[in-house]
């Protein structure tokens, strides 16, 4: 059994698994060092293997119809969790009303509950009282730390002398975090010390040792928290490479992420995640996606740094289309393009290895 930070977890993703609103659950199903995921809750895919639904690669994590059926199955296999994790990531981070019953049931069974939503469970007196009665924890991962625990930008980022890569994207909910983890693991497999800088709640839930939650951090401290995470990883781990997870995209109307990562993380290079089949920004019909060329130019103008490669999200594609799409992107941008989720990151790592200082 793999070693995990916290314990076994059942992931709540009702109505959202295998959709952009389930990306926290997707991350946990694909990889986490914080939990051992023993199942996912989503009636639509009940009876399926979560890895098979998501990537066409079974991984032994079952999807259950509801809490009752999960309890029966997990008890029978002696696989009861100690955590319920909210795997939803909807626009605005709001908790659906129907989720509260499942959360109450988890607390009544003596499980801890972790949530990365903007609706803080610790603001609900009923849930807090139930957790206290059962002597378990509720953790709101997106709750902003007290100001005296936050860091302001210092300039110490200039001391970091290992290779720094930022995985930014042309849109939100695009797979930037997944690509960042794939790169970290591929570097490690290649014999290099690599560290992941998580910038969202899912990165923390996956066990990123150095992380902050960018979209709920007080604006004055966002740059400082990014810098602090990168500098801490460099000082404590002496890595060959640091990979910074991107957020949103520079031109997304609702999630214009990436500015602070470029300014404070000061990456040496940017890897740009892109979904060629998307025509409009995720969740915002009528907001046409800017071209790949415009997005690359914006990054390079803002940061003065090169986009070194494009990583492709193959949503909406058949498998036999992927390599041709990658070739077309290379012809258009003069940059190498890779689908690391489908084909692995070895070719991209080979390109990046020569940049390690």
pLDDT per residue over 197-213, tens digit each? 999 999 999 999 999 99
Distance separating alpha carbons of residues 187 and 245, to the nearest angstrom: 15
pTM exceeding the 0.85 threshold for the entire prediction: yes
What is the CATH class of 149-353?
A: alpha beta
Task: Check: CB of residue 40 under 8 Å from CB of residue 13.
Answer: yes
CA distances from 174 to 26, 169, 238, 345 (A): 12, 7, 30, 17
Burial of 324 (0-12, 13-18, 19+ CB in 10 A): exposed
Give the pLDDT of residue 79: 96
Distance separating alpha carbons of residues 312 and 322, to the nearest angstrom: 8
Q: Work out the angle between the directed axes of helices 125-134 and 99-108 (0-180°, nearest 10).
A: 20
Q: How confident is the model over 240-260, as pLDDT tens digits?
A: 999 999 999 999 999 888 899
Residues carrying CATH 3.40.50.300, the chain:
149-353
Task: Check: CB of residue 334 under 8 Å from CB of residue 296.
Answer: no
Report the first-to-last Cα separation within the chain, whole angstroms: 36
Q: Cα 267 to the chain's mean position, in Å?
A: 19
CATH superfamily, domain at 8-140: NAD(P)-binding Rossmann-like Domain (3.40.50.720)
CA distances from 135 to 95, 127, 131, 231 (A): 23, 12, 6, 36
What beta strand segments (E) does 129-232 contain?
138-140, 163-169, 194-198, 210-211
Give the pLDDT of residue 162: 98
Residues carrying CATH 3.40.50.720, the chain:
8-140
Q: Which parts of the chain sit beneath pLDDT 70?
A: 1-2
């Amino acid at each position: 059994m793999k070693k995990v930070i916290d314990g076994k977890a059942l992931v709540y993703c009702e109505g959202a698994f295998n959709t952009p609103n389930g990306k926290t659950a997707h991350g946990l199903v694909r990889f986490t060092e914080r939990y051992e995921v023993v199942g996912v809750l989503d009636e639509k895919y009940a009876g399926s293997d979560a890895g098979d639904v998501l990537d066409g690669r079974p991984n032994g994590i079952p999807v259950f119809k509801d809490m009752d059926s999960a309890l029966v199955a997990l008890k029978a296999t002696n696989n009861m969790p100690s955590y319920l994790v909210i795997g939803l990531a909807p626009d605005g981070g709001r908790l659906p009303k129907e989720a509260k019953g499942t959360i109450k049931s988890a607390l009544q069974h003596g499980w801890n509950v972790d949530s990365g939503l903007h609706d803080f469970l610790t603001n609900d007196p009923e849930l807090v009282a139930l957790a206290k009665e059962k002597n378990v924890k509720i953790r709101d991962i997106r709750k902003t730390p007290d100001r005296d625990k936050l860091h302001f930008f210092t300039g110490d980022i200039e001391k970091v002398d290992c290779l720094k890569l930022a995985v930014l994207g042309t849109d939100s909910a695009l797979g930037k975090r997944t690509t960042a983890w794939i790169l970290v693991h591929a570097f490690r497999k290649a014999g290099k010390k690599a560290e992941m800088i998580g910038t969202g709640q899912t990165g923390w839930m996956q066990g990123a040792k150095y992380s902050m939650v960018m979209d709920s951090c007080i604006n004055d401290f966002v740059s400082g928290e990014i810098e602090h995470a990168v500098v801490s990883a460099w000082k404590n781990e002496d890595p060959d490479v640091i990979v910074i997870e991107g957020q949103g995209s520079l031109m997304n109307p609702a999630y214009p992420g990436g500015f602070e990562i470029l300014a404070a993380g000061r990456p040496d290079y940017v890897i740009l995640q892109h979904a060629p089949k998307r025509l409009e920004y995720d969740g915002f019909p009528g907001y046409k996606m800017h071209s790949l060329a415009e997005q690359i130019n914006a990054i390079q103008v803002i940061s003065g740094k090169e986009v070194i490669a494009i990583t492709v999200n193959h949503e909406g594609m058949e498998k036999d289309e992927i390599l041709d799409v990658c070739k077309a992107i290379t012809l258009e941008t003069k940059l190498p393009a890779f689908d690391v989720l489908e084909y692995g990151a070895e070719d991209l790592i080979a390109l990046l290895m020569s940049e390690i200082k």
